[in-house]
Amino acid sequence: MGKPEALRRFPWLNESLWERAEALFPIRLPRDYLGDAADPADPRLRTALPDPQELEPAPDDLPDPVGDSARSPLPWVVQKHADRVLLLLTKRCHLYCRYCFRRTHEPGEGQDPTPEEWEKMLDFAASSGAKEVILSGGDPLAISDQRLFSAIDRLRTTIPTIRIHSRAPITFPQRVTPELVEGLKERGSIWILVHANHPTELTAPVRAALGRLVDAGLPVLNQAVLLAGVNDDVAILQELCELLVQNRVFPYYLHHPDAAAGNASFRLSPERGLALWRALRQRVSGLALPTYVVDAPDGSGKLPVSEAFAKARSS
């Protein structure tokens, strides 16, 4: 959906807001993902549409909220742990979530690595000694099957486990084609980590896409972000986690929101987040309970929020 259609459909938007927001972070709106949403408080619209609040700086904004810069040995590469390496295959996404922690910090100058950067990125990962490689972005499913498969084949020579972190099965489920699924199935141990935040995102096409992946023997896990005004309600979290399990997707992580410039309206305190997670723990089984984590701004990686919060209070 382009700007003219969006401005007509959502009367609370205006051209000035759109242009100012897009200058800071791209806007892209898949029609099928938005569905018939019309209320500004709809979780799909809240996370997809620009909002005046994202134009205002907040005192606790961080230029690099998860500490990627200090852990980036090359453009498009992040390595926070000796046994894992993360590759940013592209900056492109099917939907640019307004709370994204990479709103303001991404290596490289273009939307995709140059041919030279691509080769160096894959060579580094293949020779890093890592046991796992995480294909991320942007969204790694925003690139072609051929490019994705060629990267996996290069990495597979030395790295036994490959993870694809993608929101595409949720925001653009038609991307999960039979050809994509078969190509991934043929390439050995590949884990798919998707990103659904609210039960309304688990539409029939999304459930079908997730089913195609699981039926092919590809393990599928979910990473949600705890977002103020979207899913900061224990009943919503319970419904999300139980729906995921019903669709054979493990609710792996619940992320505390990162303090990226522009996403302050989505943030909530660790105390409130912990209270919600503890209430969720009383309502769902261990199979449906995600680990509540925060990606530390010092680049050391993810920690349980309870541990990070206790550490912060004692320092």
Residue 76: which of 87, 61, 60 has the closest Cα? 87
Residue 153, phi then psi, degrees to nearest 5: -65, -40
What pLDDT shows up at residue 309?
76
Q: What is the pLDDT along the chain (315 residues), one digit of tens a residue?
A: 999 999 999 999 999 999 999 999 999 999 999 999 999 999 999 999 999 999 999 999 999 999 999 999 999 999 999 999 999 999 999 999 999 998 864 444 589 999 999 999 999 999 999 999 999 999 999 999 999 999 999 999 999 999 999 999 999 999 999 999 999 999 989 999 999 999 999 999 999 999 999 999 999 999 999 999 999 999 999 999 999 999 999 999 999 999 999 999 999 999 999 999 999 999 999 999 999 999 999 999 999 999 987 766 665
Q: What is the DSSP string of 88-118?
A: E--S--SS--TT-TTSS--SSSSSS--HHHH
Strand 250-255 versus strand 77-81 pairing type: unpaired
Residue 170, token pair as written in the block? 């949720």
What pLDDT shows up at residue 214?
98
Which residue in the block uniquely carries the two structure tokens 């290596």? 107
Angle at which helices 234-246 and 270-281 cross, to 10°: 50
- Distance separating alpha carbons of residues 189 and 169, to the nearest angstrom: 19
Residue 7: which of 24, 23, 26, 29 has the closest Cα? 29
- Distance separating alpha carbons of residues 215 and 181, to the nearest angstrom: 9
Name beta bridge partners: 258: none
Distances 55 to 22, 68, 98, 129, 149 between C-alpha atoms, Å: 10, 23, 11, 42, 38
- The Cβ-side half-sphere exposure at 65, using a 13 Å CA radius, reads 21
Q: What is the CATH number of domain 3-314?
A: 3.20.20.70
Distance of CA 218 to the CA centre of its chain: 18
Residue 66: which of 291, 215, 263, 282 has the closest Cα? 263
Any idea where the domains of the chain sit in the sequence?
A: 3-314
